[in-house]
Amino acid sequence: MLIVFNPAAGARRRRRLSRALDTLARAGVPARVAETLHPGHATLLARQAAGEGVALVVAAGGDGTIAEVAAGLAGSVARLGILPFGTANVLAWELGLPPRPEAAAAVLAGGRPVALRPGLARFGDGTQRLFVQMLGAGFDAQVVARLDLGLKRRLGRGAYVLQGLRELGRYPFPRFTALLDGDAVEVASAIVSKGRLYAGRHLLAPAALPGEAGFQVALFRGGGALRAALYGAALPLDLLPRLPGVELRHALRVEMRGPAVPVQADGDLAGALPAAIADAAGTIEVMLP
């Protein structure tokens, strides 16, 4: 087993890592640790490990680290493990993974593999981005783009709230076109989701099913600071999907065109529109309880 550890993800991450390693050692499971040195490094480390025949490559970090490791494992038979040490850990909540390092390590040692079907975004500049949980275009990506890593370390998820409030006053909410299996909708923001949850444990897409082909797409037709503030307030109450102006639809393919609004994937800035999103070519087996 190789553990790809992102030292920049989440809080108290080194202590969490040593608690997970203790559990693995007690269970007699050999584990090697490789630290990421820069964004994107986890993909290289995972790809190399899969090429060397490592059977289980573990992402120790948040959703961004998981997505990077998954991108490195795509097309191989290596399995994905998760030690949820990030800030929001949306995928871990979605999959029912335990947050305590000891319990998460026990899943690596004795869990069952389940197929995960990531999404893949292709951008107009030719770049591609694999994502495991969700991709957002518009306001949420603007918040992610402007978020300072130091602030995130100090405040955790509160940093997103603070940055969101800052962006309310300056984001212009440009409209763009989302094509859902060819059907055009004008929106101010859109979130293309594999799962039910968003920004931690908050409900975004109640109809999402694990392993399902395609995506649940949350369409935010109206822009403006007031409306975005309302959506932000509704999110922790799990009321967002029920608000007027929020529409949820299933689609196998999503294309987004228009002004170059920012796009985030799994909580990290990924690029700007235009983007075309579909399921990635294969599945990846992830270890679950």
User: Is there binding between residue 7 and ligand ATP (CB under 6 A)?
Assistant: yes
User: In this structure, what are the phi and psi dihedrals at residue 65, rounded to the nearest 5 degrees?
Assistant: -65, -40
Q: Exposure pattern of 171-194 as b/e (b: 16+ CB <10 Å)?
A: bebeebebebeeeeeebbbbbbbb
Q: What residues between 86 and 105 interact with ligand ATP by CB under 6 A?
A: 86-89
Specify the residue, 82 or 188, whose C-beta has the smaller distance to ligand ATP.
Answer: 82
Could you tell me which of 215, 283, 268, 269 has the C-alpha nearest to residue 73?
A: 283
- Strand, helix or coil for residue 150: helix
User: Is there binding between residue 43 and ligand ATP (CB under 6 A)?
Assistant: no
- Strands 128-131, 56-61: pairing is unpaired
Q: Determine the size of the site formed for ligand ATP (CB under 6 A).
A: 22
Q: What residues between 261 and 280 interact with ligand ATP by CB under 6 A?
A: 267-268
Six-digit token pair at 34?
């490789």
Q: Which residues in 214-281 belong to E strands, given as ranges? A: 215-220, 246-251, 254-257, 262-265, 268-272, 275-279
Interface residue with ligand ATP among 1, 2, 4, 6 (CB under 6 A) is 6
User: Is there binding between residue 64 and ligand ATP (CB under 6 A)?
Assistant: yes
Six-digit token pair at 190?
């859109």
- Strand, helix or coil for residue 234: helix
CA dist., res. 3 & res. 46, Å (int)? 9
CA dist., res. 191 & res. 144, Å (int)? 13
Interface residue with ligand ATP among 2, 4, 54, 61 (CB under 6 A) is 61
Interface residue with ligand ATP among 20, 62, 167, 264 (CB under 6 A) is 62
Which among 6-14, 17-25, 107-115, 236-244 is the span making contact with ligand ATP, rule CB under 6 A? 6-14
Could you tell me which of 187, 181, 186 has the C-alpha nearest to residue 214?
A: 181
Which among 59-67, 107-115, 165-173, 217-225 is the span making contact with ligand ATP, rule CB under 6 A? 59-67
Q: Nearest approach, Cβ of 70 to ligand ATP (angstroms)?
A: 12
Interface residue with ligand ATP among 38, 53, 126, 150 (CB under 6 A) is 38
**Is residue 127 within 8 Å of 71, Cβ to Cβ?**
no
Q: Nearest approach, Cβ of 103 to ligand ATP (angstroms)?
A: 18
Q: Nearest approach, Cβ of 45 to ligand ATP (angstroms)?
A: 10
Q: What residues between 123 and 152 interact with ligand ATP by CB under 6 A?
A: none
User: Is there binding between residue 164 and ligand ATP (CB under 6 A)?
Assistant: no
CA dist., res. 284 & res. 87, Å (int)? 23
Residues that bind ligand ATP (CB under 6 A): 6-10, 36-39, 41, 61-65, 68, 86-89, 267-268
